[in-house]
Amino acid sequence: MTSGTFTTASSSMNFNSPRFIGAVEDEWQLYSDRESDYIIGSPIGFGASSIVYAATYQPPRPKPSANLPPPIPCALKVLDLDALPPRSLSLLQRETTLMSLSKHPNVLRVRGSWMNGHKLYIALRLMNKGSAADVMRYGWPGGMEEDVVRCILRQALQGLNYLHINGFIHRDIKAANLLIDDDGTVLLGDLGVAADLSEDTSQRNTKTTRASATTALSQPDPSDIPSNGGHSGAPKRIVLFDHTLPLVEKPRMGKRKSFVGTPCWMAPELIQGRQYDSSADIWSFGITALELTQGRPPRSRETPQRVLLRTIQDEPPTLNREGGTYKYSRAFKEMVDSCLVKDPTMR
């Protein structure tokens, strides 16, 4: 396969565009797009066409006479573009663009990128604890206590709400895509299947997170706790937006119909091929809440086909407040139930 040509699109962007709704100034600095500024260490993760390495970024001297600032630990995702089929190249473009432009403390952001031959290098913040699924696998195999789950979900919800109010849906919310740092910061990752609702023709506004979910995740009431082909022809050109630029507000919101996601977390309307919007993420959020409390998502031991069928036919799963390793409050159960309503307009 012919490798892609990656360029930035800063020259075509309007520097006076309105900021993305809810965007914030970064607490963590951007790195650089120069390979010489990085030292690559050992691999820490593997994908079908990518490897993630632990690395360090060396910031420049603030002035020639100054000492070098201390190096910054980071992660480098290295993708072999020759190994990617066209579909994956499209997802990569979407993910990198969204990760480059998102400015929220709970959304993983690209902090540098460059090409070397047919390989794309993407510099990211190093999330030392891995994902919530990793943390649970090694520390809480039977599920986490409510306070920990609330802390994770509250931050995930803030990042998710940031995407929703700007016209994006994530479409693959699950514990494996909630990344955790040493200080407990949670970031939404794996934005490859995220969709821009403004691409669609429907005029219906995308919904934001229900207030009941936010309220229930604020503070617990102590008294109430009882987881591709090639192409030929001209070289593929993929534009990467300049990651120093702000996102712009999305003026039109619509719905999607494409079938994407992971079976255990997929909303009924998505499985049935009906139009869906950000409500599908709220369903996945509810399933993720159950995953964090039980150590695995509901129906995870069944075949994908059976999972999809039962999601449509059966009543939504619910939280057993007292039947697991830990006990959970009534308010927390009500929050989960409010997410797992089959009618998307009621979530």
Distance from C-alpha of 133 to C-alpha of 344, rounded to nearest angstrom = 26
Distance from C-alpha of 111 to C-alpha of 76, rounded to nearest angstrom = 10
Question: Which candidate, 52, 93, 97, 263, places its Cα nearest to that of 171?
Answer: 263
Distance from C-alpha of 273 to C-alpha of 161, rounded to nearest angstrom = 24
Q: Which residues are catalytic?
A: 172
| Backbone phi and psi for residue 42, each to the nearest 5 degrees, phi listed first | -85, 150
Instruction: Find out whether 77 is annotated in a ligand binding site.
Output: yes
Question: Which candidate, 183, 95, 72, 178, places its Cα nearest to that of 133?
Answer: 178
Q: Which residues are annotated as a binding site for ATP?
A: 77
Q: Which residues are annotated as a binding site?
A: 77
